[in-house]
Structure 1
Amino acid sequence: MSEDIYAKPDLNKKVRFQKSENEDKNEEVGDSMDNTVIYDNCWIQGSTPPNTEDNTTEKPEQIISADVNSRKKNLVRAAAVFQLLLCLLLLAVVIVLVVLLIEGKSLNNSLITERDKLQTNYTEIKTLNSNLTMDRDKLKTSYTEMKTLNTNLTMERDKMKTLNTNLTMERDKMKTLNTNLTTERDKLQTSYSEMRSLNTNLTQKTSQLEKERDSLMANNTNLTKQRDELQMKLETCPTKWNKFGNRCYFLSPSMGDWSNSKKSCENLDAQLVIISSEEEQKFITSLGVEAWIGLTDQNTHPVWKWVDGTVVNTTYWKKDQPDNYMNNEHCAEISTGGYSSNWNDLPCTDNVKFICEKVLT
């Protein structure tokens, strides 16, 4: 661009400056008019154009040189102004940077202080967080315990409600019972009054009855003595009879078959012996004889029954007995030997001693 400014102008070229619409209509103008138009438009603002008369005498090179010098001065002034403005701008930038640096240092110090405070707060918050975490865990544990306790208390509450309901029902029952008892008490009080009156009468009668009682007691003593004497007589077995417990036993001196032996006992107001206990079995065995007992299966074979019709429960048979030898042994005898196994079955027609039994009366 600077080369274009300082280049030597070509004066042979025709230049036309359009000032108005009237000049556009005059396209073919002479060289003198063209030069005049060029010179009129070449002067910059603020310069005084030369007179028309002088232009006719000065050369075009001189005019252009003066114009170029004027433009150079203007460019120098513009460059100086631009440099001044640039320096002012740089100064402003430096001032701004210095201010920003000072503010930045102040801000940095503030930020460092804030950072230290934040670090301190962070440490405190971290410690507080640890404490809160521990408290939270404790609260969780407490919550679990409280929840369990609440469940237990709820169950206890339900039990207490049920108990309260039951107690309320019991209370109502007791109220009803109390009302009934009050009524009964009133009746009893009335009865008590009547009974007191009756008791007075009974007391008098009691005195009389006590006298009668004393008299009767004396008579009772005499009667007791008489009873004891009679019992002594009754509890004594007849002659040749053996006493065991409250029973008397007779061992026959003669022999007979089972049927005749049964009849003989009945004639003595007795029966063939019925052994109903182990003690009685031992006693009969101690008599030391072989004799008929009141046990048979003549009509109920193979079921053995006593003469009173009861089925035998406890037995003391010898080994391999009863064997019903020859299908003819249907009556039982007791023999000597061990008491636990001394029963034997025999033909009912055999002649054997017998034992009668009767109860003391």
Structure 2
Amino acid sequence: MNLMEMDDGMKEGLVSSDIRRRKAPSRCVFVCMGLLCALLLAGNIGQIVHNKKLSQSYTSMRQDQDELKRNYSSLWTDKERLQTGFNDLKTEKEQLQTNNSGLTTDKNDLKRNLSNLQREKNELKTQLNSMKTNRDELQTQFNSMRSNRDEVQTQFNSMRSNRDELQTQLNSMKTNRDELQTQFNSMKTNRDELQTQLNSTKSNRDELQTQLNSTKSDRDELQREKDQLQTRFNSLQMEKDQLQSNYSTLSAVKDHLKKLAENFPEWPCEKDWKKFNGSCYYVSRTKMNWHSSRSSCQAKAGDLAIINSNEERGFLVGLVSSGANIWIGLTDDDEEGTWQWVDGTLVTTTYWEPGQPNSSGGNQDCGEMVQRGEWNDDKCSTLNFYMCEKKLPIDIQW
């Protein structure tokens, strides 16, 4: 038994030794495979780490993108808010300009009224002083008053000069109005340019930021313009109140002078002349053509009659014989179709017969008063009676 066991042991030793010799290359393979697995594991770990970093970088870029979107939305909101403010300021500017134009018109009207009242005041003062001087002499020194007529005529010419100066001032005010209109048009042009610049800001985000700063500057400029217009508005309001006060004062003075003038006697007309509302009228007894009639009136220190109201027309109709045609101071000899009085003023109130003036034959350039006081155009060479008018040297009309 022992021998068999020994034999078996020897066999097993030989077999195990042979197996160990065969297992030696297998260990190398296992070691290599282990190292390869370790390398693959390290590669996978590195890949996982790299993917994690890429994921973090993507998340960061996504957050930056969201932040840029939020910034863009905020900039767009600011732009719309500034656009709304700009439109509000533009509306206020237009409203102030409208108010400024209205107040300027009121100011011009009040200035004209003030000028008219001032002129009437000066005329009344001159006439009142003259009447006070001559009041006691009017009853007994009528003949001496004729010698003073030339002096009064000189004063009348001076008053005409004052009227021309007032007309010059009116023309100057019209020039100022045109300059204001030019400034208004310039402001409208600037507004359109600003609108064009505002539209161009929509190109990109960087231009939007730049244009936003420019729009803020424009808004400040419009605010300053608004403040300036408000200041001008307040100034014009004060001037309007002052002119209204002056107008009330002059109206009171006018009423007072009117009461004083009612106590003075009227200036009489010469023989064969009829008085109406500060003028004396004369109807000829002979017929002449229009130009000869005017020369005759001028020789009498007057001119052909000028009709300014329906009351005056009714008075003159009462002086004329029934069915007579009378030359009056009406002509379009200078420019066909443009009728004016002999003193150079244009005709504003007319009493033409139906269908007149018709310039029949193309040479009816002189005006005549026919039945019922209506007017007709006729040839200047036609022979008619004529009506002369002569202003009294001193007269007060209301």
Q: TM-score range by the shorter chain?
A: 0.3 to 0.5
Greater RCO structure (CA 8 Å; 6+ sep): 2
Larger Rg: 1
Higher helix share: 2
Question: How does the TM-score come out when normalised to structure 1?
Answer: 0.36
